[in-house]
Structure 1
Amino acid sequence: MTDQISAKQFREAPGVDEWRTIFGGGWACAYFRTGSFAVGVELVRAIGDIAAAANHHPDVDLRPEGVSVRLFTSDFGGLSERDVVLAQRISAAAAELAVPADPSRVQHVQVAIDALAGAEVQPFWAAVLGYEPFGEEDVLDPLRRGPTFWFQRMDAPRPQRNRFHIDVYLPHDQVEARIAAALAAGGRIVDDSHAPGWWTLADAEGNEVDLAVWD
C-alpha cells in the first residue's frame, strides 16, 4: 500500500517547482506551454514512456498550445511519493524539450449546490450528468473532464441567497492575482474571514464564487 502525503509535503519536495497542488481530488497539476502541437506530442510521448516505466499513470490533456498533466494516486484519491517521483521526471523531460511551465493555467472548478437533503438530490445529479457518487457530498466525472459537484448541507432554507455557487481552486501563488483581476472586472469581496483558505467574491448582481486553495 502506497503511503499518502500531504499537499505541503508534495510542494516541499525537490524538483517539483513547476507543479501546483489543487483541491478537487487531491491532485498535483502542471501546465506546459509547448507553443505547438508537434512539441506537445513529443512531450506527451515522453510522459507516456515515464509513466509506463513507473507503472503510475497521470491524466494528460494535449492541446495545440500546451499540455496539462494531473497527478494523483488512485489507491486513495490523493498524493503519494510516487507522484513526487513522476512529477520530477516529467519536469526533467519538459526541460529537455525547452518547454516552460505556466502555473497561472492551473485550476479546478467545482459547482456547489446548497441542499437541505443532499442524499435525495445527489442521485439525480449523478444520473443527469453521467457522474459517479463520491462519498456523501460529491459527484465526480469518472473521466475527470468536467467540474466536480458538491452538495453543501444546509440546516435551514436561506432566502435571498443563491442556491448554487462556483468554487475555483487555485495554486497558492496564483489566487491573489485572480482576486485582483476579478475586482478590476467589477467584482467585490463578500467575505474574506476564511482567508487564506478561501475568499468569497460576487459579481455586480450578487452571484457568488469562492476562490480557494488546498493546504
Structure 2
Amino acid sequence: MGTDDRISPRRFHDADGVEDWSVLYDGAVVRFATGTFERGAALVAEIARLAEEAGHHPDLDLRYGTLVVRLVSHDVGDISLRDQALAARISEAARALGVETAATGAQTVQVSVFALDVPAVLAFWQAALGYDRRGDGDLVDPLGRGPDFAFQQLDHPMPHRNRLHIDISVPRAEAAGRVDAMLAAGGRLTADTREPHWWSLADPEGNVADIAAWRDDSEEEEL
C-alpha cells in the first residue's frame, strides 16, 4: 500500500468483520476478555503471525484476563486500509480461539495543557516526562505506555480556570454512560460541551475532563 490508503473512522466501521473495534484518538482499538493469561498469550501469538504476514504490526497490551490491541499506520499518521484489513483478521482469530470482546474498557487518555507560551511550557514537560516531540504541540511516550500531552495556544490569561485538563477518548456507545456517572459524582457540564461529539465536565473544584466520542464514527480523514 502507498501513502494514500488513509481512511476515515466512518469508512473503517463500514467494513465487515470490525464490529468489535472502536476508533479513538490514537487508532482503532479493541479489548479482548481472554479470561486467562495463557489464552491471551495464544491470541498474541496468532496476532504476531498475522502481523508478519501482513507486514503491519499492532500495539499489544497483555494483562491477566485481558488483551488490548491498537492499530494505526504511523506512515500516514492515522488509520488506513491496512488497519481495517488486519483488524478483521484479528477478530476472526479471536473467535477461532473462543476469545470474546470485553463489553467495555477501550479508551485513550490525553492530557491537554493550555499555555500562553506553548514552546516554553512544552519544553518543561518534555524534560519532566522524557517524552518525544510530535509536531509543534504534542509530546508522546517513546515506549507507547503513558498518555499523550497536547499543548493548546491561549490568546489571553485564564486566571479563573485550571489550564490543565484530561481528554478521554471512548467509543460512542459508552460516552453517555460515562458522562452520567460523572454528573452523578458531582460534575457539571461546561460551556465547551459539544454533544454528541464531546462533553466537557468540571469537578467541584473546576478541574476539567472531556469525554470525547467524535473519532469513533467521524468522516474526517485526519487525526
The answer as to 2:189 corresponding to 1:189 is yes
SS in 1 for 2:101: coil
- Distance in 2, matches of 1:86 and 1:191, equals 40
Q: Give a deviation string over 1:44-97, Cα, whole Å, max 9, x none.
A: 111111101111000001000110000001112201111011000000010011
State the Cα RMSD in Å.
1.2
User: Compared with structure 1, are the counterparts of its residues 192 and 158 closer, same or farther at alpha carbon in structure 2 (3 Å cutoff)?
Assistant: closer
User: Which is bigger in relative contact order (C-alpha 8 A, separation at least 6)?
Assistant: 2
Alpha-carbon deviation of 1:193? Answer: 4.2
Q: What is residue 49 of structure 1 aligned with on the other side?
A: 49
TM-score for the superposition, normalised by structure 2: 0.92
What pairs up with 1:140-159 in 2 under 5 angstroms?
140-159=140-159
**1:10 aligns to 2:12 (yes or no):** yes
| Equivalent in the alignment of 2:108 | 108
Within 2, Cα distance between the matches of 1:17 and 1:171?
12
Secondary structure of the structure 2 residue equivalent to 1:21: strand
Which runs of 5 or more structure 2 residues have no equivalent in the other structure? 219-223
SS in 2 for 1:156: coil
Aligned residues: 213
Q: Quote the Cα distance in structure 1 between the aligned partners of 2:120 and 2:148.
A: 18
Q: Which residue of 2 aligns with 1:20?
A: 22
Give the aligned partner of residue 95 of structure 2.
95
State the identity %: 46
Asked if structure 2 preserves the Cα contact closer than 8 Å seen for 1:202 and 1:209, the reply is yes
**What TM-score, normalized to structure 1?**
0.95
Instruction: Give the gaps of 5 or more residues in structure 1.
Output: none
Matched position secondary structure for 2:180:
helix
- Counterpart position of 2:177: 177
1:140-182 per-position Cα deviation (integer Å, ceiling 9, x unaligned)? 1122210110111100101110011111111111101111111
Deviation at 1:137, TM superposition (A): 1.3
For 1:145 and 1:188, the matched residues in 2 are separated by 30
Deviation at 1:191, TM superposition (A): 3.1
4+ long deviations beyond 3 Å: none
